[in-house]
């Protein structure tokens, strides 16, 4: 009996770890393998938060003392998915990404251009809570997509932005 419980626990643990492995197929619904050319490289990972939080628990404690706002944001994250696509010569990937955002009622918070890359930050809202943040980073032939499921209150988010703006202004004054 004790043996079967241990074996069951080990199997359950292995199944949860399986989702951590880097996969070579897309893990986000707006991209399918047939949309990509044969020479395209895809790497995708879904990180279970119970594992992530176990590893960063000490860092959160450090941040509580140094940067309480960042620690609060880390605690609110529930799920994290990352997908990178390299060598895609088809330009319709960003249009599919934008169609997915429109279909699922995402709002664009910000769009930036940095060193030739376009970065978009999009949120899915329910009342006054941010439920998902979807980042899209597009370079010439490379793409990175980050899907973060969280439960951030808009008031908390505005406090975070205000805090970092003040912090940034202080460092500019000092320098």
Percent of the chain with pLDDT over 70: 70
Phi and psi torsions of 51, nearest 5°? -75, -45
Flag whether pLDDT at 98 surpasses 60: yes
Percent of the chain with pLDDT over 90: 11
- The most confident of 40-44, 52-56, 70-74, 162-166, by mean pLDDT: 40-44
Identify the pLDDT of residue 145: 92
**For the packed helices 49-66 and 68-76, what is the interaxial angle rounded to 10 degrees?**
160
Flag whether pLDDT at 102 surpasses 90: yes
Identify the pLDDT of residue 122: 92
* Mean of pLDDT values over 158-168: 76
Contact indicator for 97, 103 with CB cutoff of 8 Å: no
Flag whether pLDDT at 35 surpasses 70: yes
Identify the pLDDT of residue 109: 85
* Mean of pLDDT values over 8-27: 64
> Where does residue 107 fall: left (phi above 0), alpha (psi -120 to 50 degrees), or beta otherwise?
beta
Q: By C-alpha distance, which of 110, 124, 111, 119 is closest to 161?
A: 110
Flag whether pLDDT at 103 surpasses 90: yes
Read off the pLDDT of residues 58-89 as tens digits, 9 standing for 90 and up: 666 766 666 767 777 777 788 888 898 888 66
Phi and psi torsions of 72, nearest 5°? -60, -45
Domain assignments of the chain as residue spans, ordered by start: 20-174
Task: From residue 73, give the alpha-carbon distance in Å to each of 69, 120, 132, 148.
Answer: 6, 19, 13, 11
* Mean of pLDDT values over 141-167: 82
* Mean of pLDDT values over 139-145: 86
Q: By C-alpha distance, which of 150, 145, 137, 105 is closest to 124?
A: 105
Q: By C-alpha distance, which of 138, 43, 44, 39 is closest to 89?
A: 39
Identify the pLDDT of residue 89: 65
Enter the DSSP assignment of 2.
H
Higher pLDDT, 106 or 140: 106
Q: By C-alpha distance, which of 100, 160, 152 is closest to 127?
A: 152
């Amino acid at each position: 009996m004790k043996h079967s419980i241990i074996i069951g626990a080990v199997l359950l643990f292995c199944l949860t770890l399986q989702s951590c492995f880097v996969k070579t197929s897309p893990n986000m619904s707006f991209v399918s393998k047939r949309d990509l050319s044969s020479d395209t490289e895809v790497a995708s990972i879904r990180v279970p938060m119970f594992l992530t939080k176990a590893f960063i628990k000490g860092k959160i404690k450090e941040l509580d003392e140094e940067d309480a706002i960042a620690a609060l944001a880390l605690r609110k994250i529930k799920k994290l998915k990352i997908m990178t696509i390299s060598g895609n010569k088809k330009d319709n990937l960003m249009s599919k990404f934008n169609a997915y955002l429109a279909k699922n009622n995402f709002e664009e918070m910000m769009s930036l251009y940095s060193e030739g890359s376009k970065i978009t930050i999009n949120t899915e809202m329910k009342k006054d809570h941010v439920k998902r943040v979807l980042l899209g980073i597009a370079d010439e032939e490379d793409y990175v997509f980050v899907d973060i499921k969280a439960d951030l209150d808009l008031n908390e988010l505005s406090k975070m932005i205000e805090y970092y703006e003040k912090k940034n202004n202080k460092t500019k004054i000092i320098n």
